[in-house]
Amino acid sequence: MKVSVSIAAFNAAAFVKAAVDSILQQSLRDIEVIVVDDGSTDRTAAFLAEYRDPRLRVVTLPANCGIATAHNVAMACAAGDYFAVMDADDVALPDRLRIQAQFLDDHADVHIMGARIIRTQADITTEIDRPQHPLSDGEIKANLLLLNGSALIHPTMMARLSFLRAQHWRYPPPPRGRVGIDHEFWIECVARGAVFRAIPDVVLRKRRHGANVTLFNNDPATAALKSISRAKLLGLYYPDLTGREIRALAALLDPGNPAMNVIEVCQALVVGEKAHGCEVSYYGESKPHLQAMIAAAMNRYLAPLAGLART
């Protein structure tokens, strides 16, 4: 089997049929669709029970365990060469799986890939925008540091199942696995030597509505978890920095970080200057891209300091 598609569905009755139909109607027919009903209490299960396509398998969890657990269950069941992710409220374009599977067939060195999307209103037809995410391995890995969804679009991900199983890697469990599972998953894949790529093809219409999980990612607890993830990634990219320097650089790069005092800012700027001079890439990350990010972060603090010096 070529592709196993994982769809995690929790109270997705309003959208799940459109999502499942868009996968079952793909031009690539050699697929299986694993829908994990994550303890839904609405009519999600009833809609899924209407299907008679043998390529569709529904796994029902006894309670709402979170999207990470749902995808892990699908991954454990998967029989395809490639493991693709799909959100229960999005719609895949007809050639999505064929285009992505062909890319992985043609690029044996790539372990994880993504593609581009059309972001829409809840009606799936009204276009909002077409985000231009990076395509190269180095820039994707650099953008992971931002932890803002600008590296890859998770529901366009397709990965080599053999790589994930060889690394014994799964999505992180709760509590980290309820939001932000994509970044934590990819950071660990970076640490395990994964090569990333993305293609410029638009393969998905991504629905924006009030119940999107990613809309809840700005609470203080999630911000604290992002800080931990950012420091983990910086430790990979800058192994010569000390733990204290890593934390200072992580604070410097956090756009949502509360105001630091003057001493903390000065310490962070010194570390930023040190990191800015590191040109060796240890995991394929683009150091020029990272240097630009660090320079931009430093400039956010340098201007206020200059004003302070004039007073």
List Cα–Cα distances, 263 to 67, 151, 268, in angstroms. 41, 32, 9
Domain boundary among 172, 201, 216: 216
Domain boundary among 153, 181, 216: 216
CB 241, CB 271: distance < 8 Å: yes
Residues 140 and 277 in one domain: no
For residues 299 and 297, give the distance between their C-alpha atoms in angstroms, rounded to a whole number. 5
pLDDT in tens, 44-87: 999 999 999 999 999 999 999 999 999 999 999 999 999 999 99
CATH of the domain at 185: 3.90.550.10
Band (262; pLDDT cuts 50, 70, 90) = confident
Residues 178 and 263 in one domain: no
For residues 292 and 11, give the distance between their C-alpha atoms in angstroms, rounded to a whole number. 42
CB 204, CB 114: distance < 8 Å: no
Domain that holds residue 197: 3-216
Band (226; pLDDT cuts 50, 70, 90) = confident
79-88, 175-184, 228-237: least confidently modelled range: 175-184
CB 70, CB 12: distance < 8 Å: no
Answering whether pTM is above 0.85, one says: yes
**Single-letter amino acid code for the residue at 142:** A
Higher pLDDT, 16 or 169: 16
Residues 101 and 29 in one domain: yes
pLDDT for res 300: 81
Residues 127 and 247 in one domain: no
pLDDT for res 290: 93
